[in-house]
Structure 1
Amino acid sequence: MGWSFSLFPWLAALSALFLLTKFLLKSRKPYSKLLPPGPPALPLVGNIFDLGEIPHQTFYQLQAKYGPVIWLKLGAVNTMVVQSAETATELFKKCDLPFADRKAPDSLTALDYHQGSVAIGAYREYWRTLRRICMTEFLVHKRVDASIPIRRNCLEKTIKWIKEDVEKSKKNGGSGEIQLDRFLFLNSFNIIGNLMLSREVMESKLDKAGEFFDAFVLFLEWCGKPNMADSFQFLKWADPQRIRKNTEKYLERLLGFASEIVKERIQEKQSGKVKERNDFLDALLDEEDDIKAEGADKLSVKNVTIVLLEMFFGGTETTSGTIEWGMAELLRHPSSMKKIQEEIDRVVGRSRMVEESDLNKLPYLQATVKEILRLYPPLQMLLPRKAMEDTEFMGYVVPKNTQILVNAWAIHRDPAAWSDPLSFKPERFLESDIDYKGQHFQMIPFGSGRRSCLGMTLGHRMVCLSLATLVHAFEWKLGDGLTPETLDMKEMVGLTLRKKVPLKVIPTPRE
């Protein structure tokens, strides 16, 4: 849902806003001749109603008129949108540090989530220490390599659960149709749980994971809703759209889940019955006394819980969503599906599962995953940055505290960087060295620089291995009576890039 609201609840707020007109307009005057171009802003509300139903697509369309750097006034918030390969290069090479701060959305101030977050935490010593722990204890190549058996085991179970669900459907007179996203979520969730906690979190099938999955999806939906409180500081106390309240409701459930895990581990450590392991949660608890947070003497148990939950967020939703988009595109392009199957059959054969050691021998699979990440970056707009000081950018002056939006979705469709950018063509990467790691700025699915995604190596491997395993293990047909031409590929507005209509498919084991 975009910026469309019933009129009456906003009359009082808009009346109050008119009292602030001079103040709001005055804040722009010193820079007015040096700011980037953008659509004319209405008094008070600015460009809020220019955002449309799906903002990242609206920004992409505005580029034809205003260019790749666009200036917006979202209420009282100065905002700059960057959405071409050239401007992304300038940002990450020259302005990474002055634009390294975050602007936490009001929804994620619920339960003080932003205070303990790595993803949206302010750029300060506490954040730098947390990032170091995450990089050295969880996401380094050595630890990712050591966790190969975990991913293989989780995928084996996922394949088994898919087969069982198909058989159950057929026994009940159904077609064997399944909703794929729940299996993908459960698979990713168990992989991340094993890495962080040295055990499976969801050991059974979908019934026990369903409550967490549903709360997680609703949490992300509320986080991604356009929020007037983000545009007008004085509305934060009122939370007029109840976005923070609803986010808090689902976040409380999710934090409760993570909190039980943390409490269990603390009790275990206090009892002296510590098992032989060295996982991410142990590393966080061991570092607890060494971190000096602003306003606190240590990394609190609450913040440990937030970081733990955030690792689940980052490793499950984005990964499972990317795989779902990939399967949808392969079902729309059966020739690409067939090429992957033939490549895997040639390298792996039919008598065993795909191993991670096989992935480098599967160039067409690798090219397909890059093309999926190009068209469907996990976060269509990277998490908002904030200018820490007045900064020159592309010949413009960007005032301090300006919100910086990097439209990865648009950058990946930049016609100056990509030929036929709107088409799904894995072949474009077969003879190309363009990668996803943040050094080729025409393709930044995981961001770049200081605020790049911590889990890009792990996430890429999970997508490659999961996609290869699914295509190798099953023949796939669309459910719901759909055809490649009628499959709904609409996007849902939210924090991450999700399919609006979940993918329903009929898998048949390949004999």
Structure 2
Amino acid sequence: MASLIGDLIFWLSIVLSSTYLLNLITRKTRNLPPGPVGLPVVGSLLQLSGMPHEAFARLSKQYGPLMTVWLGSRATVVVSSAEMAEEVLHRQNQVFSGRIVADVATALEYDLHSFGFSQVGPRWQALRRISNSELFTPRRLDALKELREEKVRVLLQHVGEACADGRAIDISEYAFGTTLNLVSSTLFSQDLVDLDSESAGEFKSFMCEMLEINSRPNLCDYFPVLRWIDPQGLRRRNRRILTRVYALFDELIDKHVRAYEDAAAKGEPKKNEDFVDVLLQLTRDPNTGFTKENIRPMLLDLFIAGSETSATTLEWAMTELLRHPDKMAAARSEIKQTVGKGNFVKESDILHLPYLEAVMKETLRMHSPAPLLVPRRADSATKLAGYTIPQHTQVLVNAWLISNDPTLWDEPTSFLPERFLKSDVNFKGKHFQFIPFGAGKRICPGVPLASRMVLLVLASLINSFSWVLPNKMAPQDLDMKVKFRLVQQRANPLKAIPVPLTDM
């Protein structure tokens, strides 16, 4: 056995070294964008320790807004300017609409049915049409807003208990549990997690483990030749979790099917139609191209994108407001004038809170949830800024660097929500200096739901309580270290003490 393993390692080394040398020899002849040569076999992987988007930002100062970086055996083109981002995401959107699929996402063929990972084609087009015309319309979101508002009431009740005890709460824990329930209420009309972090529930533990697995660097993504052995076992772990999550989804889907059949037997429409009901209705129409097989991956997409991104944005927004008491006071004053001090904030109220929306935008600008967006793929060879981009090349857009570019933003390192008050710049994919959710065909479809959730929870926390840092910590001493998971999170969870408004 030892001899077999030794032979395997030897031949893998030969293959990987040969691939590297071939890439090095042919690099100039292929007219790729400039970039670091890197080391044999590993390329520039060792230069990406820490925050990859920051490492790419440093490299772009030397090689420019369009550069080639070798990540293992994979050539990756990194886009680092708004001009180049517009070229990739808008002018050549058709070419760059492909996806580079992480190896873990291939478990149970998740990538083939996922809206986020599937390649552009008839199936993906059907999913996109369903998202835009059936799920994320204002009418559909409005129909379920009372369910989401009820989840916020539950959150405020939990925070109120901590307020009465004078204890600090983990903002990230409460935000993640609440956003999971806000998403689940929209999809299933019921909770899937318990806000009590000591008994968080099975689904929340599944989600946390899945996010951890998908965030870990995977050798298979840098050296595709290793995929057949899955050396770190990440795909196998993801398969086990997906199997259990899909079983839970099946129970909830079957419950909806039975409710529909019971209502139909009585000649009545089903009450409280949620997203799952809409998706099941679409499976009954053969012209939609949508099947039950698509439902589970699509639901998981919505949970991953909606909960993790929204929770992280909420935590960063609270962090910045605690660091800048004057901004917190301005946001609270606006909510007080619109809703009334201490009154419950409804989703309909957030349309009248421009400063709060500016706070969310500035948070997304400074703390891009996905700093490098979701990796794209060139579906055909093309020219970009005079360079050749070969077919199937991975393309990363450094959205974080673009939204912190001093040539595009005044005082980019300062938290200034006011910059958005007299500006039409938004995150809907039309302004390429600010693309936290991407742009073009592959822009995140759940942005309308996510923005509603973030603003509703943030407004509710601000208008129901005052907040102080534990241990008499000064705002300027708040830890701002970052860790890189699927999204850019705080390295240490934000903890703060809710205080009755009358005491401040």
- Of 374, 381, 403, which residue of structure 1 is paired with 2:372? 381
C-alpha distance in 2, partners of 1:119/1:14? 37
Residue aligned with 1:19, SS: helix
C-alpha distance in 2, partners of 1:204/1:484? 27
Does residue 46 of the first structure (1) align with residue 35 of the second (2)?
no
After superposition, the Cα gap between the structure-2 partners of 1:290 and 1:420, relative to the gap in structure 1 and judged at 3 Å, is same
Does residue 225 of the first structure (1) align with residue 208 of the second (2)?
no
Other-structure match for 2:132:
135
- Of 357, 369, 381, which residue of structure 2 is paired with 1:366? 357
After superposition, the Cα gap between the structure-2 partners of 1:257 and 1:166, relative to the gap in structure 1 and judged at 3 Å, is farther
Q: How does 1:244-259 map to 2 (within 5 A)?
A: 244-259=235-250
Q: Verify the 8 A CA contact 2:219 2:226 in the aligned structure 1.
A: yes
Other-structure match for 1:19:
15
Segments of structure 2 that go 5 or more residues without pairing to the other structure are none
Q: Verify the 8 A CA contact 1:138 1:196 in the aligned structure 2.
A: no
C-alpha distance in 2, partners of 1:11/1:40? 29
Deviations 1:161-198 (A, max 9, x none): 2112444xx3xxxx411112222122222222222223
C-alpha distance in 2, partners of 1:94/1:103? 20
Does residue 63 of the first structure (1) align with residue 47 of the second (2)?
no
The letter for the 2-side match of 1:280 is: F
C-alpha distance in 2, partners of 1:457/1:238? 40
Residue aligned with 1:442, SS: coil
Q: Verify the 8 A CA contact 1:126 1:291 in the aligned structure 2.
A: no
How much does 1:462 deviate?
A: 1.6
Other-structure match for 1:427:
418
Residue aligned with 2:156, SS: helix
Q: Verify the 8 A CA contact 2:343 2:464 in the aligned structure 1.
A: no
C-alpha distance in 1, partners of 2:177/2:431? 32
Does residue 310 of the first structure (1) align with residue 306 of the second (2)?
no
C-alpha distance in 2, partners of 1:480/1:112? 49
After superposition, the Cα gap between the structure-2 partners of 1:159 and 1:415, relative to the gap in structure 1 and judged at 3 Å, is same
The letter for the 1-side match of 2:74 is: V
Residue aligned with 2:83, SS: helix
After superposition, the Cα gap between the structure-2 partners of 1:499 and 1:320, relative to the gap in structure 1 and judged at 3 Å, is same
Other-structure match for 2:107:
110
After superposition, the Cα gap between the structure-2 partners of 1:212 and 1:284, relative to the gap in structure 1 and judged at 3 Å, is same
Other-structure match for 2:206:
215
Taking structure 1 as the reference length, what is the TM-score of the superposition?
A: 0.89
Q: How does 1:138-217 map to 2 (within 5 A)?
A: 138-167=135-164, 170=165, 175-202=166-193, 206=197, 209-217=200-208
Other-structure match for 1:93:
90
Does residue 281 of the first structure (1) align with residue 272 of the second (2)?
no
- Of 352, 355, 362, which residue of structure 1 is paired with 2:346? 355
Deviations 1:341-389 (A, max 9, x none): 1222223222622233333433322211110011122212211111111
C-alpha distance in 1, partners of 2:477/2:315? 17
Deviations 1:282-332 (A, max 9, x none): 222233365799xxxx75544311211221222211111100110011111
Deviations 1:247-280 (A, max 9, x none): 3344344333323212322344456567324322
The letter for the 1-side match of 2:417 is: P
Other-structure match for 1:75:
72
The letter for the 2-side match of 1:94 is: R
| Alignment: residue pair count | 493
Deviations 1:387-433 (A, max 9, x none): 11101112211000101111111111112211221221112222222
- Of 326, 331, 342, which residue of structure 1 is paired with 2:322? 331
Q: Verify the 8 A CA contact 1:221 1:494 in the aligned structure 2.
A: yes
Other-structure match for 2:445:
454
The letter for the 2-side match of 1:87 is: M
Q: Verify the 8 A CA contact 1:18 1:44 in the aligned structure 2.
A: no
Q: Verify the 8 A CA contact 2:429 2:440 in the aligned structure 1.
A: yes
Q: Verify the 8 A CA contact 2:163 2:500 in the aligned structure 1.
A: no
Residue aligned with 1:73, SS: strand
- RMSD value, Cα: 2.5
Residue aligned with 1:378, SS: coil
Q: Indicate the structure with greater helix content.
A: 2
C-alpha distance in 1, partners of 2:388/2:450? 36
Taking structure 2 as the reference length, what is the TM-score of the superposition?
A: 0.91
- Of 457, 465, 474, which residue of structure 2 is paired with 1:474? 465
C-alpha distance in 2, partners of 1:53/1:93? 30
C-alpha distance in 2, partners of 1:207/1:305? 28
How much does 1:106 deviate?
A: 0.5
Deviations 1:220-250 (A, max 9, x none): 1221111111111221122222222333344
C-alpha distance in 2, partners of 1:28/1:261? 52
- Of 102, 120, 124, which residue of structure 1 is paired with 2:121? 124
Other-structure match for 1:6:
none
C-alpha distance in 1, partners of 2:187/2:352? 29
Does residue 465 of the first structure (1) align with residue 460 of the second (2)?
no
How much does 1:158 deviate?
A: 1.1
The letter for the 1-side match of 2:67 is: I
Q: Verify the 8 A CA contact 2:317 2:360 in the aligned structure 1.
A: yes
Other-structure match for 2:28:
32
Residue aligned with 2:475, SS: coil
Q: Verify the 8 A CA contact 2:75 2:393 in the aligned structure 1.
A: yes
Other-structure match for 2:433:
442
Compare 47-56 and 447-456 and name the one that shifted more. 47-56
C-alpha distance in 1, partners of 2:9/2:482? 31
Residue aligned with 1:485, SS: helix
